[in-house]
């Protein structure tokens, strides 16, 4: 029997953004395999349908909702889909991420804004929209950050700014949502083997990076820990200790 205050994934109702690629895809499959009902959110409706089919034999289930999480006008339909598919929300995982990389002299204002829109504005919009469905559930908001929030990298000014902003917003929300019984946690992985590296100039050994499945494992840990306390920031490093 599970210790008092602990629980597994079975029956949890989870909204996950950026669900079709990289970390998000690994998380969606792990959560559904553990018995959770997952509303996977992404722009690619076809990829969402494929993801839901892949999880068809799992203990849990994945529902797809296609929208652009950077647009305020998308939020009412997202909240409606969460209520319709899940009933209420036990956890929100703000995972959607994108970035334009380039040195400051070539990084356009439009690309800077686009990076902040996905990595910072979208978590604000989605959290704001779904908090009403989380009140009373003892829910979790988990924001997927990056080592770029605390370490600078050449050509990554927009991405570093966005992730640092996400962690700053998370610290404020820790205190703001605590009285509502909602925990806010930052999950900060180091270099993770995703397709984002294809857009970054240089050569990288992805075999030495954190696999997305390891991030998914850490997410499960956060979602199943005792509600008597919580981890405000969980940092993951690759096996060799480098970012």
Q: Which range is least confidently modeled, 64-78, 111-125, 127-141?
A: 127-141
Confidence of residue 228 (pLDDT cuts 50, 70, 90): confident
| Mean pLDDT calculated for residue range 157-179 | 97
Scored b (16 or more CB within 10 A) or e, 91-118 reads bbbbbbbbbbbbeeeebeeeebebbbbb
**Residues with catalytic function:** 159
Is the pLDDT reported for residue 2 higher than 50? no
Judge if pTM exceeds 0.75: yes
Domain limits, the chain: 13-236
pLDDT at 210: 86
pLDDT at 206: 63
CA distance 22 to 210: 11
> What residues does 16 pair with on adjacent strands?
40, 93
In tens, the pLDDT along 31-66 reads: 999 999 999 999 999 999 999 999 999 999 999 999
Q: Which of 225, 242, 129, 152 minimizes the C-alpha distance to 185?
A: 225
pLDDT at 96: 94
Look at the domain 13-236 and name its fold: Rossmann fold (3.40.50)
The per-residue pLDDT of the chain, averaged, comes to 91
Percent of the chain with pLDDT over 70: 90
Q: Dmax over Cα atoms in the chain, in whole Å?
A: 59
| Mean pLDDT calculated for residue range 15-24 | 96
CA distance 107 to 124: 24
Is the pLDDT reported for residue 5 higher than 50? no
In tens, the pLDDT along 78-119 reads: 999 999 999 999 999 999 998 889 899 999 999 999 999 999
């Amino acid at each position: 029997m599970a210790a008092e205050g602990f629980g597994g994934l079975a029956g949890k109702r989870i909204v996950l953004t950026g669900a079709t690629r990289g970390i998000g895809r690994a998380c969606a499959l792990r959560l559904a395999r553990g018995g959770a009902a997952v509303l996977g959110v992404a722009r690619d409706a076809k990829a969402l349908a494929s993801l839901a089919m892949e999880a068809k034999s799992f203990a849990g289930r994945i529902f797809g909702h296609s929208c652009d999480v950077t647009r305020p006008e998308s939020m009412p339909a997202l909240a409606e889909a969460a209520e319709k598919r899940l009933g209420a929300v036990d956890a929100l995982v703000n995972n959607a991420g994108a970035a334009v990389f380039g040195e400051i002299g070539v990084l356009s204002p439009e690309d800077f804004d686009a990076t902040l829109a996905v990595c910072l504005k979208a978590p604000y919009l989605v959290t704001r929209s779904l908090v009403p469905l989380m009140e009373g559930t003892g829910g979790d908001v988990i924001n997927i950050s990056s080592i770029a929030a605390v370490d600078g990298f050449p050509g990554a000014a927009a991405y570093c700014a966005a992730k640092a902003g996400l962690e700053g917003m998370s610290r404020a929300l820790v205190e703001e949502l605590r009285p509502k019984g909602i925990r806010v946690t930052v999950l900060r992985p180091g270099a993770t083997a995703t397709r984002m590296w294809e857009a970054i100039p240089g050569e990288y050994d992805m075999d030495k990076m954190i696999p997305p499945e390891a991030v998914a494992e850490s997410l499960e840990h956060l979602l199943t820990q005792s509600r008597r306390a919580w981890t405000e920031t969980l940092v993951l490093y690759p096996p060799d200790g480098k970012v």
